Structure 1
Amino acid sequence: MIRFERKNMVLAAAAAGLIVVGGVAGLALARFGSGGASPVAAAAGEREVLYWYDPMTPGQRFDKPGKSPFMDMQLVPRYADEESGAAAGVRIDPALVQNLGVRFATVRSGTLEGDLTASAVVDYNERDVAVVQARAGGFVQRVYARAPGDVIAAGAPLADLLVPDWGGAQIEYLAVRRTDDAALIGAARQRLVLLGMPESLIAAVERSGRPRTTVTIVSPISGAIRTLGVRAGMSVPAGLTLAEINGLSTVWLNAAVPEALAGQLRVGRSVDVTLAAFPGERMTGRLTALLPEVTGDSRTLTARVELRNPGGRLRPGMFGQITFGGSSTPALLVPSEAVIRTGQRNLVMLAGEGGRYQPAEVRVGREAGGQTEILAGLRDGERVVASGQFLFDSEASLSGVTARSLEQARAQSGSESAAPTPARVPASTPAPAYRASGRVQSLQGRSITLAHGPVPALQWPAMTMTFVVADAVPLGGVSVGDQVDFGFDMVGGKATIRSLTRREADQ
């Protein structure tokens, strides 16, 4: 029995030793087969990494992993097998698109209406204002129950003013009149005028032969009292403003016109006006001014229209609508809501096949009736996202998907412009506006990343950034690491290289 147990212990120890040896041998074989790397690392190593990028700033590319210089996060690799997918756009689950209720629109050729409408508010005509002042110091003896907002006629009394200083001058004038000396009489009468007496008061003194030191202040025009600063019993110095009267024979309509459409307006043109207070009635006014200041919050320009106001029916504060007539023109159109305006460039989200979406840069023109004119960047028949496009654009940015540039769109369409009005596109390419030198960091199609020096004209420091290379600029012979001189323009908020010259090694 003891021998049997001892034999079992020996067999168990031998088996354990074989397991250990087998494990070591298996680990050695695994390391030998994988070149010293773990299976996970080997699987990962099979995918070629093109570059690393920060998802928050996908336009900047890096040649090695690490932390992002922009955000406190690790850089994300872009693999070679993902590059074709990135070029085709980001893929969104069709079920999610349906749940979001996303709407699509087709780019089409159509007619853009020339009429431009804008909301307007009736206001006083600030050019038709009369200021009533005291011509001499005195005391207010009587007021005529006026108040701001009252509509009065021309010649309506406002207040009776007692001016003691006028009494002595009027007595002297009456005495001189009895001398029959024309020169003295003329000089004495001129003195009364210089003291501020109105012609009507001097004539009354001449007719009655008695001095009159009380004068009635009247309104010189008909209109509404804007301000009234006179009360019974108060003393007034010479030059004090007693009232301001605003005429109502004409009024202004101030319309808020979008900044992008202000270039279509011309001062002096006739406009059609409709007011909510008088439905069905159309009036005609004249555009008299485009105010020089743009409202910062709404980015609108104020257009001022002058309108006749017979009978005083139009009251300041009324709402109306102004229609600026214009000619209709053919254009390539998309819904205005489909355009993403970033401030530096305009984008739309292209809907491709297989549930893929890609941002595309566009150049926009006029806008009317909820439609926007596309001057470049799209072709007739392409589908764009009309609602929820900001979600698609955010997903494309996080995935590092680059937008289709205007040059790429022209290359795909085989024409210089996607719009049916090619006269808007210049026939010749102007000289580059900015010049700099740099070293090529990477080349991706018609995009080139350069580590360039400062650009004083744009107040740019030395930095590394990606440029779009125009189709007319050859890239043959240029490779990563070359030192180049280049000229570029800012097109749609994007730096576009117009000339590129490789420096020789001895330079």
Structure 2
Amino acid sequence: MKTFPILAVSLVVVCAAGGAWWAAQRHVHEPVAEIGDDGAVYWTCAMHPEVRMDAPGNCPICGMRLVQKRAAARAAAAHDTLPTVEVAAQMVQRLGIRTALVERGRFWQRVDTVGRVEVDARRIRTLESRAVGWIEQQRVHAVGERVRAGETLAGVFAPELYAAQQELLLAHRSGDEALQSAARTRLQLLGADTAQIDAILRRGEAQRALPLLAPADGIVLDLDVHEGRQIAPGMPLARIADLSQVWIIAEIPEAQLGRITEGRPAEVRFAALPGQVFQGRIDYLYPGVDAVTRTARVRIVLDNPQWRLTPGMYAEVTLFGGARDDVLMVPSEALIRTGTRSVVILALDDRHFRPVEVVAGDERDGRTVILDGLKAGQRIVVSGQFLIDAEASLRGAFGRMAPAHAQATGDGP
């Protein structure tokens, strides 16, 4: 009665053993070339590269025969900590791996930033009262209005100014040159210009209210003129800004200050004027760095003959800092940036590759300056480098695990 269960158990055991044997026969590993860093011969498992033995035998993990490998000497660079990776020829084609040479050449430095349009402070004119009087016949009433040179803003009646006109007419009728010169000077000191004085002499009579004229084409920034208002000497009446030339104030990071100098060219673009590029020069580097943003201010002067640029407009600014000759450059797409370091994949030949840590500098037009880590003439990977870097990182992690594993199994030295 117990024969059937015993036979069933025996059959299960035999089947399991046979399945394990069959799986072992089917467990075929592809040998993977691995390069160490000490130049010695060692044995490893192609399926488990973290296993590394000093004598032939079986893999302690899967039991397959170990493969003999000969390590290569480590590269001389101290920062080169990742192993070399060998990629089969068909895999090179399948991954579309492309390479490029490390070259020396001329690199044009530049800084891309943003800025805003501001009034040229050197083109602001202030009109002030020079005598006690009153405002009459006001013609410009609001801040922001555009005025032309010689345009009347308002009339100014001042008893002292009216009396000075009468004195000029009397001196002119007397024919005394000294009196005429003194009368002219007094009127000029009270704010009358040469054209107004000549007009008084042509008419032969004094004007009750002399016009307050705009000194140049521009816009009204401030206006403290209201009809009937009393004014006093030194009182500012209006400020006029000439917009035929404007400033672009740009902010640049502290780390990029060394790339630019005064007098270097600049290009400015505006969202309101697509497709147009304004050429200018760096006029001034403001001293000091903002304690919060860690940026410095740069001033660029632009001609604005048609007044298309108005204060407050947003600008995209490119500052050119000159050329650097004989610098190492690589395609920017070759760099692998991790946030803490920059890596490129060095092509030793058509199948062997090794990650190399580099110090990257400025970047422009798809080219990046390399400050350290490479030499001219070396070949680097520009396509497919991320897969190679991942494989090298994995190999490096396995290599660091190997001594601990060998010690745990008792197979290591």
Scaled by the length of structure 2, the TM-score of the pair is: 0.55
CA distance in 2, matches of 1:184, 1:258: 63
CA distance in 2, matches of 1:153, 1:128: 14
Q: Which residue of structure 1 lines up, in the alignment, with residue 328 of structure 2?
A: 331
What displacement does 1:235 show? Answer: 1.0
Q: 1:377 to 1:144 in 2, by over 3 A?
A: same
Q: Which residue of 196, 221, 230 corresponds with 2:225?
A: 230
Q: Which residue of structure 1 lines up, in the alignment, with residue 241 of structure 2?
A: 246
After superposition, the C-alpha distances for 1:15-38 in whole angstroms (9 at most, x for unaligned) are: xxxxxxxxxxxxxxxxxxxxxxxx
For residues 410-449 of structure 1, the aligned pairs below 5 Å read none
Higher relative contact order (CA 8 A, sep 6+): 2
Q: Which residue of 362, 368, 371 corresponds with 1:366?
A: 362
Q: Which residue of structure 1 lines up, in the alignment, with residue 176 of structure 2?
A: 181
What displacement does 1:216 show? Answer: 0.8
Unaligned runs of 5+ in 2: 1-78, 82-98, 346-356, 387-413
What displacement does 1:339 show? Answer: 7.3
RMSD: 4.3
CA distance in 2, matches of 1:339, 1:139: 72
What displacement does 1:364 show? Answer: 6.0
1:114 aligns with 2:97: no
Q: 1:107 to 1:144 in 2, by over 3 A?
A: same
1:302 aligns with 2:303: no
Do 2:136 and 2:157's aligned partners in 1 also have CA atoms closer than 8 Å?
Answer: yes
Do 2:260 and 2:321's aligned partners in 1 also have CA atoms closer than 8 Å?
Answer: no
Q: Which residue of structure 2 lines up, in the alignment, with residue 406 of structure 1?
A: none
Q: Which residue of structure 2 lines up, in the alignment, with residue 318 of structure 1?
A: 314
Q: Which residue of 274, 285, 289 corresponds with 1:290?
A: 285
CA distance in 2, matches of 1:275, 1:221: 26
CA distance in 2, matches of 1:140, 1:337: 71
CA distance in 1, matches of 2:80, 2:107: 35
Q: Which residue of structure 2 lines up, in the alignment, with residue 57 of structure 1?
A: none
After superposition, the C-alpha distances for 1:270-295 in whole angstroms (9 at most, x for unaligned) are: 33333222222233222212222223
1:197 aligns with 2:214: no
Do 2:109 and 2:259's aligned partners in 1 also have CA atoms closer than 8 Å?
Answer: no
Q: Which residue of structure 2 lines up, in the alignment, with residue 401 of structure 1?
A: none
Do 2:220 and 2:240's aligned partners in 1 also have CA atoms closer than 8 Å?
Answer: yes
CA distance in 1, matches of 2:323, 2:169: 72
What displacement does 1:326 show? Answer: 4.4
Number of aligned residues: 281
Q: 1:273 to 1:166 in 2, by over 3 A?
A: closer
Q: Which residue of structure 1 lines up, in the alignment, with residue 24 of structure 2?
A: none
For residues 450-465 of structure 1, the aligned pairs below 5 Å read none
SS in 1 for 2:287: strand
1:132 aligns with 2:127: yes
Scaled by the length of structure 1, the TM-score of the pair is: 0.46
For residues 36-185 of structure 1, the aligned pairs below 5 Å read 109=102, 113-118=107-112, 119-185=114-180
What displacement does 1:340 show? Answer: 5.7
CA distance in 2, matches of 1:164, 1:143: 18
CA distance in 1, matches of 2:172, 2:126: 34
CA distance in 2, matches of 1:372, 1:165: 72
What displacement does 1:374 show? Answer: 4.5
Q: 1:222 to 1:324 in 2, by over 3 A?
A: same
CA distance in 2, matches of 1:325, 1:213: 59
Do 1:120 and 1:322's aligned partners in 2 also have CA atoms closer than 8 Å?
Answer: no
What displacement does 1:214 show? Answer: 0.8
What displacement does 1:115 show? Answer: 4.8
SS in 2 for 1:238: coil
For residues 256-275 of structure 1, the aligned pairs below 5 Å read 256-275=251-270
CA distance in 1, matches of 2:111, 2:275: 16
1:214 aligns with 2:209: yes
What displacement does 1:221 show? Answer: 0.6
CA distance in 1, matches of 2:308, 2:176: 55
After superposition, the C-alpha distances for 1:372-401 in whole angstroms (9 at most, x for unaligned) are: 64534688899999xxxxxxxxxxxxxxxx
